[in-house]
């Protein structure tokens, strides 16, 4: 069921569940948002939705088109108020949501009508055993002694920042590398180790989701070493969560990727899809760092600041 959620659009940031996002709030409408959350009764959820602005758009009359479809709720954890009314706040990403519509009239800030997305979609029916024949519903059993009959062709079981001008943004840059970088289109995952449609996961590889998580952790450590070497600083040990879901979000937030790459990782339907995409992206980025000796340039450094009016 859809419900209203205050929105905090950001031009160059994608928030992921479990990731800390500090913000410096100076614009009046977002000061009011913070005041509204602080004044909620004890026990109420003090949260708002962080949603990325599409590159090249301004959040004007057609706010839905200017914002990406999927965002992440930010839970307010700490608030520090300045004498002039500005705030420094610390938030943590919690749940993903899909934006259905935007109300620009009822409050000074945008309010979205959102549907909450599950951490993982409900599992589908189990894959039929290898070599088993499928019959359409209602089909009769083959007579004894007759060859087995298969179902119709193709039928099978499913596979197993400070912000831009006039906008409050992050108090600092995100990710261990300290950058919110930009590069190419988002990686998309299919079967383990292969690419496929965006946000869709193929059959689990021999090692399954845990094997994918281990592969991502190993490649991420190599990526961090390559970036440290490029920047002329000592490499640091990378500590990642053991849980594959949290690991996938941590890597997505820490790697130097484009807004589009990060957004595609946020929108991935399953952890397996997200991990598979990260394998592809980390291989690409590590190769670029080692061979080209360069990190991607944030698109925000090449553009005029976007308006949020």
**pLDDT single digits (tens) 132-147:** 444 444 545 444 444 4
Q: What is the pTM of this model?
A: 0.70
DSSP 151: -
Beta strands in the chain (DSSP E): 3-10, 20-25, 47-52, 70-81, 87-103, 111-116, 169-170
The answer for residues whose C-beta is within 8 angstroms of residue 225's C-beta and 6 or more apart is 235
CATH, domain 3-120, list 3.40.50.10190, 2.30.130.40, 3.30.1490.100, 2.60.200.30: 2.30.130.40
Q: What is the pLDDT of residues 96-108, one digit of tens each?
A: 999 999 999 999 9
Q: Could you tell me which of 266, 260, 265 has the C-alpha nearest to residue 277?
A: 265
Alpha-carbon dihedral of residues 81, 86, 88, 94, nearest 10 degrees?
100
Is the pLDDT at 117 greater than 90? The verdict is yes
145: left (phi over 0), alpha (psi -120 to 50) or beta: left
Is the pLDDT at 32 greater than 70? The verdict is yes
Which of residues 230 and 254 earns the better pLDDT score? 254
* All CATH 2.30.130.40 domain ranges in the chain, comma separated: 3-120
275 close to 209: Cβ distance less than 8 angstroms: yes
The predicted structure's pLDDT at residue 233: 80
pLDDT range class, residue 65, cuts 50, 70, 90:
confident
């Amino acid at each position: 069921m859809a419900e209203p959620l205050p929105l905090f659009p950001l031009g160059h940031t994608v928030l992921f569940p479990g990731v800390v996002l500090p913000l410096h709030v100076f614009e009046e409408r977002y000061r009011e948002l913070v005041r509204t959350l602080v004044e909620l009764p004890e026990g109420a959820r003090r949260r708002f939705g962080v949603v990325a602005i599409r590159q090249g758009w301004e959040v004007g009359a057609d706010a839905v088109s200017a914002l990406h479809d999927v965002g992440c709720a930010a839970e307010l954890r700490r608030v520090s108020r300045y004498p002039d009314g500005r705030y420094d706040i610390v938030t943590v990403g919690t749940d993903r949501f899909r934006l259905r519509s935007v109300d620009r009239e009822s409050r000074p800030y945008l309010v979205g009508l959102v549907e909450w997305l599950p951490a993982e979609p409900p599992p589908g029916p189990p894959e039929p055993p290898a070599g088993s024949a499928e019959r359409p519903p209602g089909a009769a059993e083959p007579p004894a002694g007759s060859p087995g009959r298969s179902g119709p062709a193709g039928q099978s079981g499913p596979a197993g920042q400070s912000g831009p001008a006039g906008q409050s943004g992050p108090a600092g840059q995100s990710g261990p590398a300290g950058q919110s970088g930009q590069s190419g289109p988002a990686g998309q995952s299919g079967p383990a180790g292969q690419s496929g449609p965006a946000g869709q996961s193929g059959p689990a590889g021999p090692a399954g989701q845990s094997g994918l998580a281990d592969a991502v952790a190993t490649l991420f450590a190599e990526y961090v070493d390559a970036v440290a070497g490029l920047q002329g600083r000592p490499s640091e040990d990378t500590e990642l969560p053991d849980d594959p879901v949290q690991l996938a979000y941590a890597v997505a937030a820490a790697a130097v990727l484009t807004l589009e790459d990060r957004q595609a990782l946020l929108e991935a339907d399953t952890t397996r899809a997200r991990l598979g995409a990260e394998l592809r992206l980390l291989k690409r980025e590590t190769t670029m760092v080692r061979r080209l000796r360069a990190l991607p340039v944030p698109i925000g450094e090449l553009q005029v600041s976007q308006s949020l009016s």
